[in-house]
Structure 1
């Protein structure tokens, strides 16, 4: 009798299996020898998404353990407030640490409610183990990890991952515990770093000077989140340092995310004309109109995406219309309050590269979905 796997070559089966959930991959591997070979080959596992929201929780499946050597780029999703989901994620990360040749990219994505107190210590210890043992790691994204990240983690990444190209630490935590000194150490230890995400308080003028050095490798992406009390107290970064970075890296893209914890006087210290802001996200409890007008005046040549969460007002509508006229290279604009029709008309008329927008003329049930421009 012909085995099912003999009907298709292994490379075709592998292309199919790489799109299956983990549980279905394991089932396919038990069908026949040909399917087992295809389901465990490196092509299936090179880029892997594992979700412990939908996969069976508990100890690692023997099938998964046998394939970990092939995992190079991993997106791991779990619910940190649910102990079985968190335990399964921790076991997987611990098992991956030290594998040869090891991870190249790791993105952690948390869903569900935020855990209480120090519930994430086990996950953070596993991330430490990854940074300590995976010397080939190039991309580490912790933006969706709801735990406080600290100096120890950054210094471990500095020592253990010299090939880092991107590191994102700008997560939604209430406390910023990464000091500017640790970031400076990271920049010195990882000369090929091209993308970095931080809370504002973690960035210093000295770090900008390091990025502006003549022998620095091209730096492309800086994401800054301003929401913690530490961000409020952070001193303004020198305009001349921003200008030097911009001259050294003319293609640099800066993302700024301003949250309600930032008072109006701090907003004016964060928004500086020399910063090449490409994406601006505003969710301020005080003056939102001022930052929108500032962006229209100073970021006309760089701004590509704007997101505003504010109360509807005639002043905000006027500021948005001004921004539409001046920032003609916008690709996205999302305003989560009702606007007058002239705002929508202004963006459609003056922004020919607009790809999607959320500009509602009447109240609708949430979530508000964006409109795609054909």
Structure 2
């Protein structure tokens, strides 16, 4: 239900106490900026799952999002899940303090919160936010902080405190610089609850300078959590030597997104050699070349469990044939044989 378009229906639903899962969009027209919160005031106690979308560059949208989060922080007994998503561009040098302060208030009040997803916030997320989540939300099952900021401000020590305070956490999204060997040791501890997903974004200078993680620590985590899936996203800021430190054979990589300014062929070949048993999704943004085509064909032959492959450059027909022939579980692909106007949409596999 889109609250910005149907506030009266929200009010009617709240009187019947039937709001158990909600999707809320606050990117409404300027002339309606003051209409939403009064209707929602009677609903706040019944919101369990909230996806909040707003445009940070538009003051009415931003103000409505901040006011709603602040109001919700005072009445959050049933809130289980919160996902925030920014649309459009954010103003330059915008630190997002108003939005982040409201998220702090939610974390302080929502002791039953299970899921917090901040991947679509373009603001720098810091230690204070992670520590507030650790102290205020002990029931967390998932926390995603792997957003698109170019500054990494969450230290591994804060992640350690989070893991100790939230023993049921089973999915975590971080920048690479926030991970450490000590964090992996905690995840591998015998009493740790099953851990399912670790999403790592490598995109800022701190990620490029992060020390290598011990191979034996990854192996211990994999033994403790055989079902663990790792998502790796390698951005252009990552130099070649950092890529070599990140890609390790012991890491159970299930999703690999490559958008590198340097060599892409090497990482694709590495994935083909070492991630054949775990890789389920591949995304490549690179310049077309015969070497890349050959690497993709090798990966198709060795990673039979692939479900998705998306390559945003033109490939030769043999690449498409290799994935269709070897990857019987393929569900969708983006493999263009000729240059087409963007956006390139994936092709579903019947």
Scaled to the shorter chain, the TM-score interval is over 0.9
Change (3 A) 1:139 1:38: closer
1:38 Cα deviation from its structure 2 partner: 4.2
1:168 Cα deviation from its structure 2 partner: 0.2
Q: Which residue of 2 aligns with 1:15?
A: none
3-state SS in 1 of match to 2:43:
helix
Listed as ranges, the matches of 1:4-83 within 5 Å are 19=1, 21-28=2-9, 37-38=12-13, 40-43=15-18, 45-54=19-28, 56-58=32-34, 60-83=36-59
Answering whether residue 197 of structure 2 is matched by residue 216 of structure 1, we say no
Answering whether residue 104 of structure 2 is matched by residue 123 of structure 1, we say no
Q: 1:133 aligns with which of 109, 134, 138?
A: 109
1:22 Cα deviation from its structure 2 partner: 1.8
Q: Which residue of 1 aligns with 2:238?
A: 262
Kindly name which structure, 1 or 2, has the bigger radius of gyration based on alpha carbons: 1
Change (3 A) 1:148 1:38: closer
Runs of 4+ deviating beyond 6 Å:
none
1:101 Cα deviation from its structure 2 partner: 1.6
Q: Which residue of 1 aligns with 2:323?
A: 347
Contact 1:60 / 1:91 at 8 angstroms: preserved in 2? no
Q: Distance in 2 between matches of 1:28 and 1:214?
A: 49
1:373 Cα deviation from its structure 2 partner: 0.2
Greater displacement, 133-142 / 49-58? 49-58
Q: 1:286 aligns with which of 262, 276, 282?
A: 262
3-state SS in 1 of match to 2:322:
helix
Contact 1:58 / 1:85 at 8 angstroms: preserved in 2? no
1:39 Cα deviation from its structure 2 partner: 5.7
After superposition, the CA RMSD in angstroms is 1.3
1:23 Cα deviation from its structure 2 partner: 4.6
Q: Distance in 1 between matches of 2:287 and 2:17?
A: 51
Q: Which residue of 1 aligns with 2:303?
A: 327
Answering whether residue 338 of structure 2 is matched by residue 362 of structure 1, we say yes
Greater displacement, 77-86 / 233-242? 77-86
Greater displacement, 308-317 / 112-121? 112-121
3-state SS in 2 of match to 1:300:
coil
1:196 Cα deviation from its structure 2 partner: 0.2
The number of aligned residues is 348
Listed as ranges, the matches of 1:160-309 within 5 Å are 160-309=136-285
1:80 Cα deviation from its structure 2 partner: 0.9
Contact 1:137 / 1:164 at 8 angstroms: preserved in 2? yes
1:49 Cα deviation from its structure 2 partner: 1.2
1:71 Cα deviation from its structure 2 partner: 0.3
1:25 Cα deviation from its structure 2 partner: 3.3
> Deviation digits for residues 35-91 of structure 1, max 9, x if unmatched?
x65464332x22111112236323643221111110010000000111211111000
3-state SS in 2 of match to 1:66:
coil
Unpaired runs of 5+ residues, structure 1, are 1-18, 30-35
Q: Distance in 2 between matches of 1:308 and 1:84?
A: 37
Unpaired runs of 5+ residues, structure 2, are none
3-state SS in 2 of match to 1:215:
coil
> Deviation digits for residues 214-266 of structure 1, max 9, x if unmatched?
00000000000001000000000000000000000000000000000000111
Q: Distance in 1 between matches of 2:281 and 2:15?
A: 41
Greater displacement, 76-85 / 111-120? 111-120
Q: Distance in 2 between matches of 1:113 and 1:328?
A: 39
Q: Distance in 1 between matches of 2:327 and 2:144?
A: 30
Change (3 A) 1:198 1:100: closer
Q: Distance in 1 between matches of 2:66 and 2:16?
A: 24
3-state SS in 2 of match to 1:61:
helix
Q: Which residue of 2 aligns with 1:13?
A: none
Greater displacement, 195-204 / 62-71? 62-71
Q: Distance in 2 between matches of 1:53 and 1:236?
A: 42
Q: Which residue of 2 aligns with 1:111?
A: 87
